[in-house]
Structure 1
Amino acid sequence: MTTTALRAPAFPDAVITEAVRWTEQNGPLDDASALRTAASRNADGHSRIVERARQLGERMGLQAELARGRQWAPWVLLALVALVVIAGLGLAGQVVGGSDRHINVIVALVSLLGLHALTLALWLVGLWLPAGTFGTASLGWLWLSLTARVAGGQRGQAPLLVRAATGLLTRARLLPWAFGLVSHGIWALSFAVVLAAMLFALAFRSYTLSWETTILEPAFFVRVVQALGWLPAQLGFPVPDAATVQSAVPGAAAQRTWALWLTGCIAVYGLLPRLALVLLSAAVCRHRRPALQPDWQAPYYRKLLSRFAALAPPAIVDADPGREHLTAPTGLSASEQHDGLFVVGFELPPDLPWPPAGLSASTAQVQRIDGSAPARRALLDQLAQVHPRTVLLVCHAASSPDRGTERFLREVLTHCGECRLWLTDAPNAAATQRWRDWLRDAELAHVVASDRLDAVLQEGSATA
């Protein structure tokens, strides 16, 4: 397999290709021009499908709307980050902004980590559940939806592009990781701002930190504080001992321990997990990025590949294995020939005009055969009786010569002085060269072939 065949389309091209596929679920598009343009490219079948989608996407305005979405995405993300940061500052203000300078450490911890813990648990569960189970509850999905709404409005193609993009991410098993990369990044930034605000307030204001309860035993809070403080303690944060927790009026040193314990819990259970998941999500996205391409084995794409194959020029059939044992026919000697030109149209398309324009009025015979065995036999019998000096064989240049064509040409050469090939209706120079290469490989290089009638007659006369 070639490197070109293995090359995956860029993600924007893959999104456009999938968007066109979803559009054609409701009925095929008029793609005659796009199909011809894509088929003319010297590329593999998958690249031609992508090129066809580009052509159709331009007509539908998909590329323009995708470009608008990419322009708006950073601004929407910035606005979303600003909202989350403001919300984080609001939570921090509720913790340290009270007029009585009193902080209930347990309430503060639950306020700052509660929603974070819930969304993180939903994201982790979503990794093992079918795609999209909790996707719409993430900040990543909110960012994508807002970007689509701002860039395309309600009547644009944005919903189609979103569906195509999320479909590609789902197929590559990247949907939770891509949305998670955005969500974890926003949460990490929010916790960084909250920690900065708390540390500033705790550093330059005096607060009283404690816990309160009506029905719980003090021993319960001792166990909770020590359990939550174990992991931060591994990073150097202090943990209040039982005496400090149970003290009704803790001293200044105890207040400092409480403040650092609260800060350590927020950093270890809030900021650090989100930072780690940002790095993990980025690594997974980078690793699975090559899988962000359409499912080429889907019936829709297999049908397109078949349509491109039908447009491809037919390949020359392998030469007859016994050909090397044949000698190149030289034609009849001058004494056996009769003057005259015998024109034969061989396996021409039904819609091709006949007889061809430009032939001399002195042409002795003009015939057209369909290539069937009886028609060939009848023509060869007629040539055997006439023995013309020249046979002009008119063939369709876009068609492919095969073993049957070679055998017929050899048999014609045994009943005439020379045979020339007029390759009519040639689409390009490559088609004519394909026939010449075939004549050379069939050891019939002395047969003149051209896509111009005047040229083939002049060259043939010069050769003769």
Structure 2
Amino acid sequence: MTNTALREPAFTDAVITEAIRWTEQNGPLDDAQALRTAASRAVDSHRQVTERALLLGERIGLQPELARARQWAPWVLLGLAALIVVAGLGLAGNVVGGGERHINVIVALASLLGLHALTLLLWLVGLWLPIGSFNTASLGWIWLSLTARVAGGKRGQAPVLVRAATGLLSRAKLLPWAFGLVSHGIWSLSFAVVLAAMLFALAFRSYTLSWETTILEPEFFVRAVQALGWLPAKLGFPVPDAATVMAAPGAASAGGQRTWALWLTGCIAVYGLLPRIALALLSAGVLRSRRKALQPDWHEPYYRKLLARFAAMAPAAIVDADLGRLRGATPSSLPASELQDAIFVLGFELPPDMPWPPATLPAAIAAQAQRIDGSAPARRALLDQLARVHPRTVLMVCHAASSPDRGTERFLREVLAHCGECRLWLADSPGASATQRWLDWLRDTGLERIIATDRLDAALSESALAQ
């Protein structure tokens, strides 16, 4: 989880929402005012829950502490990276800094790649078997814990924020990738510094590179050097031949020593630096592609109770037809003397993925186009606006594939009472049958004087909308 991810509004809102859930495990907070405010700010039920959490989070100090974490996160990461780099330089110094200038290549390779290989293996195990002990053993977890401790101190809200963030990442199966991005990035920097220090020392000082053993056969080292050098050789690094490997320490020629040095460098680059860089890029790509999954589990009993509370606060809506009105009667509209030379373009209950305003809508009226989701508060606000303006024309944009219902009929009649004429543009029509279904419905409900078409130019023709 990088500092950039911490700054994404959707993720930070989700962290606060989850943190409030964990906070209320110890007892519900006083949320009467927060409920009313959230209900008035948002129409979508999930957003209402998030708004409530944000209001409560401000009250108990979650947002300020999360803001401090954002400020401290890059500095803590820089300090952690500096420690790893210093440790890497220490290893490089042990390899090339000896007074005798003698390097045992096998020991050097093991000391530089040993811890890296172990931590990489633990990360891979944690990736396929998401067990907490594997994830908490990473540099990413250390960075997150240190950031929380520095930002919140001993009495802050750090534990609940960390629990919320890691819970969201675990639910989205992104926890090892988030921690991996930090770990691989730090290891990449460390290997880059180690390689630079080694190359500088090998370029300007003379070293003797060889291997030593007491119990192993010489042929073992020949096979080991050939096997380890196979992949670096694909990238152009030389591999010592059997004669160079079997040569007595110090007896290898200058060319042989150069081959040993480049073989050691190639092994560190190929088995240390390149895998970490590749995995860091892969982790960043996975986080970016799955970031939309970082949302609370709305099916949790805690959230279901909150959603029910918000639903109980919503005003009652009439879902049946008005029994006192003769079905099929044509509603009357306002006389011309009461109308203003104004137009309204309204998107009504359109699919969430449908772009708005439509690209084919003339620019002169697209800037003022509105869109409502069909909820009772949104309808009331729009009708209040129409009652104040009394526009000459209202163009309603509906999704042709959707089925008109009693709510649509009632809303059209209410719109007709506040304007001169109402027209329907049936957008994204899948065929003539969908359009005909709307036309038949308008006729059956007594709204046949509303012009309905699946062509925008026809909806705009012979109307003030075309001006």
Given the two structures, how large is their TM-score scaled by the length of structure 1?
0.69
Q: Which residue of 1 aligns with 2:184?
A: 184
Distance in 1 (CA, whole Å) between partners of 2:308 and 2:232 is 62
Q: Which residue of 1 aligns with 2:165?
A: 165
Residue 132 of structure 1, CA deviation: 1.8
Structure 1 position 45 matched with structure 2 position 78? no
Are 1:225 and 1:239, in contact at CA under 8 Å, matched by a contact in 2? yes
Q: Which residue of 1 aligns with 2:301?
A: 299
Distance in 1 (CA, whole Å) between partners of 2:181 and 2:328 is 71
Q: Which residue of 2 aligns with 1:146?
A: 146
User: Equivalent residues in 2 for 1:416-455 (5 A)?
Assistant: none
Q: Which residue of 2 aligns with 1:377?
A: none
Q: Report how many aligned residue pairs link the two structures.
A: 335
User: Radius of gyration: which is bigger?
Assistant: 1
Q: Which residue of 2 aligns with 1:251?
A: 253
User: Where in structure 2 are there 5+ consecutive unaligned residues?
Assistant: 1-7, 330-375, 377-382, 388-408, 418-467
In the superposition, relative to structure 1, how do residues 296 and 326 fare at CA in structure 2: closer, same or farther (>3 Å)?
A: closer
Q: Which residue of 2 aligns with 1:218?
A: 218
Superposed CA RMSD: 2.6
More deviation in 293-302 or 173-182? 293-302
In the superposition, relative to structure 1, how do residues 29 and 221 fare at CA in structure 2: closer, same or farther (>3 Å)?
A: same
Q: Which residue of 2 aligns with 1:102?
A: 102
Q: Which residue of 1 aligns with 2:270?
A: 268
Distance in 2 (CA, whole Å) between partners of 1:273 and 1:440 is 62
Residue 251 of structure 1, CA deviation: 1.1
SS at match of 1:216: coil
Q: Which residue of 1 aligns with 2:316?
A: 314
Distance in 2 (CA, whole Å) between partners of 1:191 and 1:143 is 19
Q: Which residue of 2 aligns with 1:74?
A: 74
SS at match of 1:137: coil
In the superposition, relative to structure 1, how do residues 282 and 262 fare at CA in structure 2: closer, same or farther (>3 Å)?
A: same
Residue 325 of structure 1, CA deviation: 6.0
Structure 1 position 195 matched with structure 2 position 195? yes
Residue 316 of structure 1, CA deviation: 2.3
User: Equivalent residues in 2 for 1:123-138 (5 A)?
Assistant: 123-138=123-138
Structure 1 stretches of at least 4 aligned residues deviating more than 4 Å after TM superposition: 437-442
SS at match of 1:28: coil
Are 1:91 and 1:112, in contact at CA under 8 Å, matched by a contact in 2? yes
Distance in 1 (CA, whole Å) between partners of 2:208 and 2:68 is 52
User: Where in structure 1 are there 5+ consecutive unaligned residues?
Assistant: 1-7, 328-399, 401-428, 446-464
Distance in 2 (CA, whole Å) between partners of 1:441 and 1:97 is 88
Residue 326 of structure 1, CA deviation: 11
Structure 1 position 228 matched with structure 2 position 218? no
Q: 2:289 aligns with which of 275, 284, 287?
A: 287
Given the two structures, how large is their TM-score scaled by the length of structure 2?
0.68
Distance in 1 (CA, whole Å) between partners of 2:92 and 2:305 is 59
SS at match of 1:103: strand
In the superposition, relative to structure 1, how do residues 237 and 154 fare at CA in structure 2: closer, same or farther (>3 Å)?
A: same
Distance in 2 (CA, whole Å) between partners of 1:126 and 1:79 is 25
Residue 320 of structure 1, CA deviation: 4.0
Distance in 2 (CA, whole Å) between partners of 1:79 and 1:184 is 16
Distance in 2 (CA, whole Å) between partners of 1:97 and 1:65 is 45
AA partner of residue 255 (structure 2): A
AA partner of residue 312 (structure 1): A
User: Equivalent residues in 2 for 1:401-412 (5 A)?
Assistant: none
Distance in 2 (CA, whole Å) between partners of 1:146 and 1:325 is 69
Q: Which residue of 2 aligns with 1:16?
A: 16
Distance in 2 (CA, whole Å) between partners of 1:174 and 1:42 is 29
Are 1:131 and 1:170, in contact at CA under 8 Å, matched by a contact in 2? no
Q: 1:324 aligns with which of 323, 326, 351?
A: 326
Cα deviations across residues 357-399 of structure 1 (Å, max 9, x unaligned)? Answer: xxxxxxxxxxxxxxxxxxxxxxxxxxxxxxxxxxxxxxxxxxx
Residue 302 of structure 1, CA deviation: 1.1
SS at match of 1:209: strand
Residue 321 of structure 1, CA deviation: 5.6
Cα deviations across residues 135-191 of structure 1 (Å, max 9, x unaligned)? Answer: 111000000000000000111100100000000000010000000000000000000
User: Equivalent residues in 2 for 1:353-368 (5 A)?
Assistant: none
Distance in 2 (CA, whole Å) between partners of 1:267 and 1:76 is 27
Distance in 1 (CA, whole Å) between partners of 2:43 and 2:9 is 12
